Amino acid sequence: MKAPETLERLQAAYALACTPFVRYVAETSGAERRDEVDEKAAALYQEWCSLGREHQRALASLLDGEGIFVSGTGIWPLEFAQFNYLSAAYLLRRVIERMGRTLDEMERLALGLDDWPEARDLLRKAVERERGLLERAKNLDVARPEKPPRQPQPKGASAARW
């Protein structure tokens, strides 16, 4: 049996793996796909979710081996709802910011798993692989074309235009 602090760290990492922002964007937010950049961003989010689920299952397996039940689901933070129905490309910067913080936290949790090398190595590998996707997201964001400003549209009816 592992030390309670060690198990708590791995459970915290598992909780982060259950509710990452990128999964919310990909599966729940209804992100719009208007153009090629949106399609690329959405495909990246789906790939990230698939990888994240793989890591989630591996963490669950380790916890299960210690006799700890994990549910496999989490509750999305209410603040995520403000990102519903926005363009997938528009959400890139938010995904980069939030997932960067999530991966930093998972890395910090891995530091406290020295007495459980298998869990530490698994978590570090997961973070490393997801950082690769984070870099791809950054590259996609940089390559994203800026939308040209739209011409102002006249509002209402005016006698001067008759």
pLDDT digits (tens, 9 = 90+) for 4-48: 999 999 999 999 999 999 999 999 999 999 999 999 999 999 999
Decide if pLDDT at 157 tops 70: no
Question: 128 burial class (0-12, 13-18, 19+ CB within 10 angstroms)?
Answer: exposed
Nearest one of 158, 136, 113, 105 to 41, comparing CA atoms: 136
Nearest one of 39, 15, 22, 40 to 105, comparing CA atoms: 15
pLDDT in the model for residue 158: 56
Q: Is 157 left (phi over 0), alpha (psi -120 to 50) or beta?
A: beta
- Specify the CATH number for 4-145; select among 3.30.360.10, 1.20.1260.10, 1.20.1090.10, 3.40.50.2300: 1.20.1260.10
Q: What is the mean pLDDT of the chain?
A: 91
Sign, CA torsion 119/123/126/132: negative
pTM, to two decimals: 0.86
pLDDT in the model for residue 121: 97
CA atoms within 13 A on the CB side of 22: 31
Look-up: residue for tokens 């459980």?
Answer: 116
pLDDT bracket for residue 73 (50, 70, 90): confident
